[in-house]
C-alpha cells in the first residue's frame, strides 16, 4: 500500500508540473529570458519521462487486477 501511495504522489506531482510547464510553453508565459525558457522546457521533458516510468510501474504493480477486470469484462455471460 505504501509503494502505491508514493507512486501516486510522484505521478500526481510530475503530471501537474508537466501540465503547467506545457501550458506555459504553449501560451509563451515564461517570464525572463532564454535561461528560464530552457529550464521550463527541460522540466517539462523530464517530468514527462518520470510520468512514463511511473505509469509503467503502475501497470506492472496492478497487472493482476487488470487481468481480473479484463476477464470479467470479456467473459461471456450466460
Average pLDDT over residues 5-18: 96
Average pLDDT over residues 6-27: 96
Q: Which residues of 8-22 are buried (b: 16+ CB within 10 A; e: fewer)?
A: eebbeebbebbeebe
Q: How many helices, marked H, and strands, marked E, lie in the chain?
A: 3, 0
The cell 510501474 sits on which residue?
Answer: 57
pLDDT in tens, 30-46: 988 999 999 999 999 99
Residue spans of the domains in the chain: they are 2-74
pTM, to two decimals: 0.82
Q: What is the mean pLDDT of the chain?
A: 93
Helix 34-61 and helix 2-26, axial crossing angle in degrees, nearest 10: 150
Given a cut of 60, is residue 6 above it in pLDDT?
yes
pLDDT at residue 1, rounded to an integer: 67
* Count of C-beta atoms within a 10 Å radius of residue 44: 18
Amino acid at each position: 500500500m505504501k509503494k502505491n501511495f508514493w507512486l501516486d504522489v510522484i505521478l500526481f506531482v510530475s503530471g501537474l508540473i508537466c501540465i503547467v510547464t506545457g501550458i506555459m510553453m504553449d501560451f509563451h508565459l515564461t517570464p525572463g529570458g532564454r535561461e528560464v525558457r530552457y529550464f521550463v522546457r527541460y522540466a517539462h521533458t523530464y517530468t514527462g519521462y518520470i510520468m512514463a516510468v511511473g505509469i509503467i510501474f503502475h501497470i506492472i504493480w496492478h497487472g493482476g487486477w487488470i487481468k481480473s477486470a479484463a476477464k470479467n469484462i470479456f467473459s461471456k455471460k450466460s
